[in-house]
Amino acid sequence: MDKRRAIVIGAGIGGLCSALALQQRGWQVAVYDKAAALREAGAGIVLAANAMKALDLLGVGSEVREAGAPVMQADIRTWDGKLITSLPAAKQAEKYGTHSYVIHRAELQSILLRAVMAELTEIHTGKQWIRGEQTDDAVTAVFADGTQEQVELVIGADGIHSEVREQLFGASPLRYSGYTALRGVCTLPDVPIGAEAGGGFEALGQGRRFGFSSLGNGRVFWFAAINAPQGTVLPTVERKSALLALFRGWYKPVVDAIESTEPATILAHDIVDRAPLARWSTGRMTLLGDAAHPMLPNLGQGGAQAIEDAVVLARCLQQTDVSAALQTYEKERMARAYRIVRLSRSMGRMVQLEHALLIRFRNAVMATTPGPAYVKRFDPIVGYVVR
């Protein structure tokens, strides 16, 4: 019998994981990306325990563990390095049966690409999706180069600026978070205690914070989130000197990490999300990952939710009626994904505070919250096991 054929638009984490999940359920998949070549950003990503569980189901969890570093320590510090609290990373790992992992995005991408291509999924670059034309029995994907392909299913995994989303549900404005983020990867000969074993810290200042995570072997992934008016993303050549000025006098590893980073590799983005949609699917087309539920990165869950989407979508598509399967998928996934969108926004308000008194109050609350209360609070997100 001929395999059922699907097209995935976008070869990011969500697109590659959905190709992997679908091919494991017997689908033949083609992935199309508009980029001329698949190159991941020079940054790291935290894959929380829930993401690791989903990657295990996709058969790539052990490779990710080998290439990444387990989060053994997660400290919250003041801007000048005083410990506020240590999040109970070991307790969480014990409870969930896996650590969370930090990995370089390029390494995650190459693991996913290898797994996808081992199953003969086609990956086409330089192919920009323009529109989909649906009948009851099929959907025809139309590309910018004039080519077309008719399949049973189209998955829009084309990220936060999704053109599939816009075609299905119209344009919706980006919601600016109030802060801009800069990210980098560097090598530090003297990684601070605790971090060399895997882990790191977030240092919280007034309207700015700095995250530091060990990638193993002396490599460090860092990010800085800075309150600023929308559209203040600096040109590449100015980023490093601006960061050094903004974080002058901070906890030493913060300054060391910025100083050790190659200026041309520093990434900068305004941090945005979008308001939730009422639907993700129409007929034989659906959305997944950031295309469906872009979220602020404050809980480190955007990639994790894309991976969970992929697992659930492939399971739902075991039923033959594609549009009914897509309804089941979005019904199963929407409440969880949008809850995390909301929580990511409120977490952002808390960690980007500017008012000195409120900061003191927040730090006191964090310092006195017992470890088990932290575990309980994040349990619904990180302790979730997708199936």
Contact residues for ligand FAD, defined by CB under 6 A:
9-15, 32-35, 45-46, 51, 128-129, 157-159, 163, 181, 183, 223, 269, 289-291, 297, 300-304, 306
CB of 261 to ligand FAD, least distance (A): 15
- The pair of structure tokens assigned to 161 is 């600026």
As a whole number of angstroms, the distance between CA 202 and CA 224 comes to 9
CB 323 within 8 A of CB 330: no
CB of 46 to ligand FAD, least distance (A): 4
Give the nearer residue to ligand FAD in terms of CB position, either 306 or 317. Answer: 306
Give the nearer residue to ligand FAD in terms of CB position, either 35 or 118. Answer: 35
CB of 132 to ligand FAD, least distance (A): 11
| Alpha helices in the chain, H assignment, sequence order | 13-24, 49-57, 61-67, 89-96, 105-118, 163-169, 236-246, 252-259, 302-316, 322-351, 356-368, 371-382
CB 274 within 8 A of CB 173: yes
Give the nearer residue to ligand FAD in terms of CB position, either 85 or 298. Answer: 298
- The CA–CA distances, whole Å, from 368 to 80, 87, 286, 313, 345 equal 20, 12, 44, 41, 23
CB of 142 to ligand FAD, least distance (A): 11
Interior angle at CA 117, CA 115 and CA 122, nearest 5: 140
Q: How far is CA 136 from the centre of its chain?
A: 34
| 49-57 helix and 371-382 helix, angle to the nearest 10 degrees | 40
Give the nearer residue to ligand FAD in terms of CB position, either 1 or 157. Answer: 157
CB 30 within 8 A of CB 143: no
User: How many CB atoms are located within 10 Å of the residue 39 CB?
Assistant: 11
Q: Which residue has the tokens 């979730």?
A: 384
Give the nearer residue to ligand FAD in terms of CB position, either 275 or 321. Answer: 275
Give the nearer residue to ligand FAD in terms of CB position, either 342 or 355. Answer: 342
CB of 295 to ligand FAD, least distance (A): 7
As a whole number of angstroms, the distance between CA 308 and CA 306 comes to 5
Give the nearer residue to ligand FAD in terms of CB position, either 68 or 88. Answer: 68
Give the nearer residue to ligand FAD in terms of CB position, either 2 or 16. Answer: 16
Q: Within 13 Å, how many C-alpha atoms sit on residue 160's CB side?
A: 18
Long-range contacts of 141-149 (CB under 8 A, 24+ apart): 141/7, 141/9, 141/32, 143/32, 144/34, 149/7, 149/30
As a whole number of angstroms, the distance between CA 380 and CA 347 comes to 15
Give the nearer residue to ligand FAD in terms of CB position, either 282 or 365. Answer: 282
CB of 17 to ligand FAD, least distance (A): 8
**Helix (H/G/I), strand (E/B), else coil: 60:** coil
CB of 144 to ligand FAD, least distance (A): 8
Give the nearer residue to ligand FAD in terms of CB position, either 181 or 186. Answer: 181
User: How many CB atoms are located within 10 Å of the residue 289 CB?
Assistant: 30
